Amino acid sequence: MKTVFTIVARNYVALANVLGNSLKKYNPDVNFHIVIADSHADDDIYSFKTSHNVVKSQDLHIVDFEQMAFKYNITELCTAIKPAAFNFFFNDGSEKIIYFDPDILLFSDLDDVFADLDSFNIILTPHYCLPEKNYTGLFKEGNILFAGVFNLGFCAISNSLEGKKIVDWWNSRLMHWCFADKTEGLHVDQKWMDFVPSFFERVKIEHNLGYNVAIWNWHEREIYSANDSYYVKHRGSEDIGQKLVFYHFSNYHFKRANEGDKFAPIKLEKYIDISPIDKLYSSILVQEKVAEEISSCSYRYNYFNNNTPISQFQRRFYRRLLEKGILYNNPFETDKNSFYALLDSYKLLSRNVAGDKINEVNFDGFAKKIRIINKFMRISNRILGFDKYSLLCKFLFRYVRPENQAFLMKEYEESLPFVNENRYTNI
């Protein structure tokens, strides 16, 4: 049995429909499932606007799932449960399984991928394939190094003994270490996959240019149309190219599907060949009312059971407690012995979950506030002297991490002291 699945929160079901519809257009005999990584009311399963198969995250029978759902944000959770979903479909009888991110559109069948799983345990796609002496990509190479060699918006694994070993090993890492955390070098599920070619056998690194075309490889791949199909070739070359199999619309502004600059702030003038794909996807999103669906319902794990918002800061607090074996079995509860009550006693509750999305681009008066902080730091430099000022900056880089703010909860000040992530050790 051949299976394809994606993972979304409730508000992205419409986007998953777009993926599923394109899959079924070219692969009518392949099973497609939408895994919902969200909290559910008993009747939710009937209210999802989809004709595709739905699997609730609770059906995956993940141990301590509430703890995972609390310590991870929405992106982290959707990627953390990926190997558990692979195991779920393995146990359901699927012999060959493909995972796609929901922001992917198919343009061809997947026959070659499924055929390759007869010979390989896992198939992975690198972010880009061509080495350049003078790199021309849109993303900084350092950002790609941080994200990992492979993009896990696509992953195909066979239900073989080695395939199961890969999934079990991957799952053991993501249960605890699926954070988006640059300080610790973690980029959700992706960085762990860098180890796979070294640890496991029959790993295929797919170099077909028609797989996983995305903004991070525009510099090496050019799309053109011929005979009512799309093809991908090396940019600027006269090659015939390879058929476009699937395109990954990462960095796409779904809520602006009927507007221009949907890859904002990146303009398409340099990559005008992307425009037909962009316009096609935009028309599909508008037809499926994706923007409206994204805005119509919220992610339930963004709130305590009494609807108080949960901030990223609080999630990181909780992560630190878990690492020290301090447990709250269901951290979403709000009774007198709950994690919520602890936060409330120290006035550490949030007012607005949208605060996690504030950055230097959308923060009102950011430039003025930076000038004030800069003035304060210049005074600090004069008072401390440059050597001590440099040491302070080095210290603050780690001190301001939410994990190091546990001292705000006074009873944990001694048991959860300041930690430098580079000092972690298994010895």
Q: What is the pLDDT of residues 54-67, one digit of tens each?
A: 999 989 999 989 99
In whole angstroms, give the CA distance from residue 280 to residue 283.
5
Closest C-alpha to 69, from 291, 250, 322, 296: 322
Residue 230 pLDDT exceeds 70:
yes
184 DSSP 8-state letter: G
CA distances from 103 to 41, 213, 287 (A): 26, 12, 15
- Reported CATH class of domain 2-292: alpha beta
CB under 8 A, 24+ apart: contacts of 84-91: 84/60, 84/171, 85/5, 85/7, 85/35, 85/55, 85/60, 86/157, 86/167, 87/60, 87/164, 87/167, 87/168, 87/171, 88/55, 88/59, 88/60, 89/3, 89/5, 89/33, 90/159, 90/164, 90/167
3-state secondary structure of 331: coil
Neighbour tally for 177: CB within 10 Å: 15
Residue 193 pLDDT exceeds 70:
yes
pLDDT at 375: 93
Q: Which stretch of 40-44, 221-225, 317-321 has the lowest confidence by average pLDDT?
A: 40-44
Identify the band that residue 406 occupies on the pLDDT scale cut at 50, 70 and 90. confident
Closest C-alpha to 18, from 96, 101, 89: 101
pLDDT at 48: 66
- Residue 280 burial class via C-beta count within 10 angstroms: exposed 0-12, middle 13-18, buried 19 and up: middle
Mean pLDDT of 198-219: 96
Identify the band that residue 47 occupies on the pLDDT scale cut at 50, 70 and 90. low
With both helix axes pointing from N to C terminus, report the angle between 275-287 and 13-26 in degrees, rounded to the nearest 10: 120
* Residue ranges per structural domain of the chain: 2-292, 303-423
Percent of the chain with pLDDT strictly greater than 70:
93
Mean pLDDT of 236-250: 91
Residue 363 pLDDT exceeds 90:
no
Q: What tokens appear for 426 in the block? A: 């298994």
Mean pLDDT of 191-206: 97
Residue 46 pLDDT exceeds 60:
no
Identify the band that residue 424 occupies on the pLDDT scale cut at 50, 70 and 90. low
Residue 303 pairs in a beta bridge with 309
pLDDT at 100: 98
Percent of the chain with pLDDT strictly greater than 90:
64
3-state secondary structure of 285: helix
The kind and range of the H/E element at 186 are strand 186-187
pLDDT at 412: 79
Most confident of 234-238, 272-276, 348-352: 272-276
pLDDT at 427: 39
pLDDT at 118: 97
Mean pLDDT of 88-101: 97
Identify the band that residue 361 occupies on the pLDDT scale cut at 50, 70 and 90. low
pLDDT at 350: 83
Phi then psi dihedrals of residue 40, to 5 deg: -130, 140
pLDDT at 426: 45
